[in-house]
Chain A
Amino acid sequence: MESLLQYLMISVALFAIGVYGLVSKRNAIRLLFSVEILANAGVLNLVVFSRFLPATNVIGQVFALFGIALLAAEAAVGLALILVAYRIREDIDVLEMRELKE
Chain B
Amino acid sequence: MDTPLILIPLLGGVAVFMPLLEVIFKGEMRGKFSSHLAVAALLVALAVVIYQPLTSPLELTASSSGLFRNDLMGLFFSLVVLLVALLVATSSLDYMKGRPNEPIYYSLLLFTALGMSLLAFSVDLIMILVAWELMSIPTYVLTGFWKHDAKSNEAALKYFILGALSSGTILYGISLIYGLTGSTNIFQILRASTGIPDSFQSLAILAMLLLVAGLGFKMSLVPFHMWIPDAYEGAPTTISALLSAGTKKAAFVVAIRIFVIALPVLHLDWQLTFAILALITMTLGNIAALTQKTITRLLAYSSIAQAGYILIGLTVALQTELGLIGVLFHVFTHAVMQTTAFLAAALIAKKTGHTDLDSYNGIGARMPVTAFTMTVALLALAGVPPLNGFWSKLVLFTSAIGGDLTWLAVAGVLNSAFSLGYYAWIVKRMYLDEGTSTTHIYEPKPFTIVLMAATIVIVATGIYPAPIYEFARLAVSSLIGAA
Contact = CB atoms under 8 A, between A and B. Distances in A.
A59 B161 CA distance: 28
A60 B178 contact: yes
B144 A46 contact: no
Contacts of B178: 45-46, 49, 59-60, 63
B168 A94 contact: no
Contacts of B140: 77-78, 81
Contacts of B429: none
B205 interface: no
Interface in A45-79: 45-46, 48-49, 53-54, 57, 59-60, 62-63, 66-67, 70, 73-74, 77-78
Interface stretch (B57-65, B145-153, B330-338, B420-428): B145-153
Contact of A42 (B174, B183, B184): B174
Contacts, number: 122
Contact of A46 (B148, B169, B175): B175
Interface in B83-132: 125-126, 129-130
Category for how many chain B residues contact A: 35 or more
Contacts of B126: 59, 62-63, 66
Nearest to B203: A8
Contacts of B359: none
B167 A74 contact: yes
Contacts of A63: 125-126, 129, 174, 178, 184
A10 to B, nearest CB: 13
Contact of B172 (A15, A74, A78): A15
A18 B171 CA distance: 14
B182 A84 contact: no
Contact of B144 (A18, A54, A66, A84): A84
B175 A88 contact: no
Given A81-B160, A97-B157, A18 B129 contact: no
A39 B147 CA distance: 27
Given A70-B129, A70-B130, A99 B151 contact: yes
B433 interface: no
Contact of B168 (A38, A49, A84, A101): A38
A5 B326 CA distance: 43
Interface string A78-102: 1011101100110000100111110
B45 interface: no
A63 to B, nearest CB: 5
B182 A41 contact: no
| Most A Cβ at <10 Å: residue of B151, B165, B184, B234 | B165
A60 B177 CA distance: 11
B172 to A, nearest CB: 4
Contacts of A57: 182
A22 B153 contact: no
B176 interface: yes
Contacts of A60: 175, 178
A62 B164 CA distance: 21
A39 B157 contact: no
> Shortest 10 CB-CB distances between A and B: which pairs?
A42-B171, A45-B175, A49-B179, A39-B168, A35-B164, A100-B230, A42-B172, A38-B168, A97-B154, A70-B133
25 contacts: A35-B165, A38-B165, A39-B164, A41-B172, A42-B172, A45-B178, A46-B175, A48-B179, A49-B178, A49-B182, A59-B178, A63-B174, A70-B129, A70-B167, A73-B133, A77-B137, A78-B161, A81-B157, A85-B153, A85-B157, A89-B150, A97-B150, A99-B154, A100-B154, A100-B229
Given A35-B161, A59-B126, A77-B137, 6 more contacts: A45-B176, A53-B182, A59-B178, A94-B161, A99-B150, A100-B155
Interface of A: 11, 15, 18, 22, 28, 31-32, 35, 38-39, 41-43, 45-46, 48-49, 53-54, 57, 59-60, 62-63, 66-67, 70, 73-74, 77-78, 80-82, 84-85, 88-89, 94, 97-101
